[in-house]
């Protein structure tokens, strides 16, 4: 068990202050959240707090799973779009990521108020 000492407490206070003043405003203004899955043995507190905050804010989650990594089932369920077996050295990697970003953007974009309703739109039923 790790005990909180003065150094750890100071580090957490600094991290919390930075998170609230810098990271949280960025998350709140973003349209989505992209997370690249890290190894479980290398628990990343920054990634965990950012992902948790994004989920609590209702941000769509694009999960990138690098080749050979396995993401927990709960994180996979929370993701709106998952790009599995991603390898930055693969010639198609950029295209796959671009397609995923386009898909999540289209999935979460608010309707265009200038666009007329579609004929099969249930909102048109009077």
Whether 122 maps to a domain, the answer reads: no
Whether 90 maps to a domain, the answer reads: yes
What is the pTM (predicted TM-score) of this model? 0.71
Whether 13 maps to a domain, the answer reads: no
User: Distance between CA 100 and CA 116 in Å, rounded?
Assistant: 27
The domain that contains 57 carries what CATH number?
Answer: 3.40.50
DSSP state of 123: G
Give the model confidence (pLDDT) of 82-110 as tens digits: 999 999 999 999 999 999 999 998 876 66
Give the model confidence (pLDDT) of 43-52 as tens digits: 788 888 999 9
List phi, psi (to 5°) of 89.
-85, -10
User: Distance between CA 38 and CA 51 in Å, rounded?
Assistant: 12
Q: Which of 12-21, 59-68, 95-104, 112-121 has the lowest mean pLDDT?
A: 112-121
Residue 71: per-residue pLDDT = 87
Number of domains the chain contains: 1
Whether 15 maps to a domain, the answer reads: no
Whether 25 maps to a domain, the answer reads: no
Instruction: Return mean pLDDT, the chain.
Output: 82
In DSSP terms, which residues pair with 33 in a beta bridge? 61
């Amino acid at each position: 068990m790790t005990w909180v000492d003065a150094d750890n407490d100071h580090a957490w206070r600094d991290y919390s202050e930075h998170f609230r003043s810098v990271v949280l405003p960025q998350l709140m203004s973003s349209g989505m959240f992209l997370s690249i899955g890290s190894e479980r043995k290398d628990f990343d507190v920054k990634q965990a707090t950012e992902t948790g905050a994004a989920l609590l804010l209702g941000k769509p989650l694009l999960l990138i799973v690098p080749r050979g990594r396995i993401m927990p089932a709960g994180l996979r369920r929370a993701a709106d779009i998952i790009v599995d077996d991603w390898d930055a050295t693969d010639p198609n990697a950029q295209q796959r990521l671009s397609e995923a970003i386009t898909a999540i953007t289209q999935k979460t974009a608010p309707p265009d108020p200038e666009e007329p309703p579609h004929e099969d739109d249930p909102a048109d039923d009077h």
